[in-house]
Amino acid sequence: MHYIVIIGGDKLENNTQVLKGILEGCILSIISKEETYGYELLITLKTNGFKDMVEGTIYPLLLRLEKKELITSKRREEQNGMTRKYFYITEIGEKELNDFKIYWDKLYVNVNKILKE
Amino acid sequence: MKDSILNNKLTGDYLIAHLDILSYLQSCNIPPNNKFSIEVADDMRDMLLSAQENGTPISDIVGNDIKSFCEDIVQSYNSKRVKLLDFLKNLNYYLCFLLLMVLIFQVFEASVNLSTIVTFLLCWFLYKYILNFFYKKLCLKFKGLKNKIMCILLIFSASALCLFPIVLIIITYCDFRLNGYYVAIVCLLLILVVQIICKKLYKNIKWYDYFI
């Protein structure tokens, strides 16, 4: 996966490619820890600081991750009769997550270096 | 997708939003019976249903701009390669029909005219893309099932009116009689070429994929 950094406006808005790439990494990381469904994923992201996030932001990302076979999903009926889609990480996803961690560590160090100069 | 629309318990704005999303997907030439469409339709139904039960506002699900939400979904499906593959699959589907039509014409010794072929391809194959182009621009402005049907009828009638003089010109200026067997051979060759390109784009494509 290539994380393309495109900052297309004056400010870094929620829909920029860079944020999508980072969010994909975060989602993979959350799913790798335990099976989860969309709303739970959203709550985890919100409690970790992504306060403006809505389900609509993460849904297309989940579709993309699933299409790239980094995650798989299974529909399960809950006790209240609602159907929920649970996500699981795949082997390719695990590998991708490791690549993302390396990428992020480098990016974090480089950006901080420049900002502190 | 049809089941997802008919068998859901969504009401009011939640139902309108569900219909908006599905209409937008269709206007982007994503086949309604395709696996992706069915999955998105079911996911959206479940998400909106749980929002409806919990009283969560729709903006918490799709954000403030439903169009960009739909665009994000479409982008997760439509790489350029997929778009091209869908177009070629569709082309081959209509070429198979044309081939069959031309052979039937020839067998019953009816004349095969160039204008018939051009009109067929324009009205059956390209017309769908023209309609979807306008539907994509307008579908989110017409809310609810009734208004969506009105919108489709409006676009259909307006495009048919515009297409009518073009078809007349084609009938007047492309009035050449053709040998049906030659046309069938050309169709067959085109189908084979398209099949080879499709195979290059997607290795697991089967001949019957054009018809599903």
Residue B167 above 50 pLDDT? yes
Query: What does the pLDDT look like over B48-65, one tens digit per residue?
Result: 888 888 888 888 888 888
Task: Taking the CA atoms of A32, A35, A38 and A44 in sequence, report the sign of the dihedral they define.
Answer: negative
A58 to chain B, closest Cα gap in Å: 10
Q: Which residues of A touch B (CB under 8 A)?
A: 15, 38-39, 54-57, 59-61, 63-64, 67, 75, 82-85
- CB–CB of A82 and B53 under 8 A? yes
Domains of chain B with bracketed CATH: 2-77 (1.10.1900), 80-211 (no CATH)
Name the pTM for this structure.
0.76
Flag whether A44 is in a domain: yes
Flag whether A11 is in a domain: no
Contact B74, B177 (CB under 8 A): no
Of B61, B75, B76, the CB nearest to A55: B61
DSSP 3-state assignment of A76?
A: strand
Query: What does the pLDDT look like over A49-102, one tens digit per residue?
Result: 888 788 888 899 999 999 899 999 998 887 777 788 999 999 999 999 999 999
When scoring B24, B25, B28, B43 by the number of chain A Cβ atoms within 10 A, the one with the most, hence best to mutate, is: B43
Contact A74, A36 (CB under 8 A): no
What's A45's domain CATH number? 1.10.10.10
Between the alpha carbon of residue B144 and those of residues B11, B12, B46, B54, the distances in Å are: 11, 9, 19, 22
Q: Report the C-alpha gap between A102 and B67 in whole angstroms.
A: 35
The Cα diameter of chain A in Å comes to 57
Task: Taking the CA atoms of B24, B28, B33 and B34 in sequence, report the sign of the dihedral they define.
Answer: negative
When scoring B18, B40, B50, B60 by the number of chain A Cβ atoms within 10 A, the one with the most, hence best to mutate, is: B50
Neighbours of B29 (CB within 10 A): 17
Is B69 an interface residue toward A (CB < 8 Å)?
A: yes
Of A55, A60, A84, the CB nearest to B73: A60
Cα A81 versus chain centre, distance: 28
Between the alpha carbon of residue B104 and those of residues A5, A67, B100, B108, B170, the distances in Å are: 57, 42, 6, 6, 22
Flag whether A6 is in a domain: no
Amino acid (1-letter code) at residue A62? L
Flag whether A92 is in a domain: yes
> In A1-117, where do the E strands start and end?
36-37, 71-77, 83-89
Flag whether A3 is in a domain: no
Burial bucket for residue A93 (CB in 10 Å: 0-12, 13-18, 19+): buried
Flag whether A55 is in a domain: yes
B61 to chain A, closest Cα gap in Å: 5
Q: Name A73's bridge partners.
A: A87
Flag whether A109 is in a domain: yes
Flag whether A39 is in a domain: yes
- CB–CB of A57 and B63 under 8 A? yes
Say how many domains are in chain A: 1
ipTM over 0.95: no
Give the domain extent around A53: 17-116
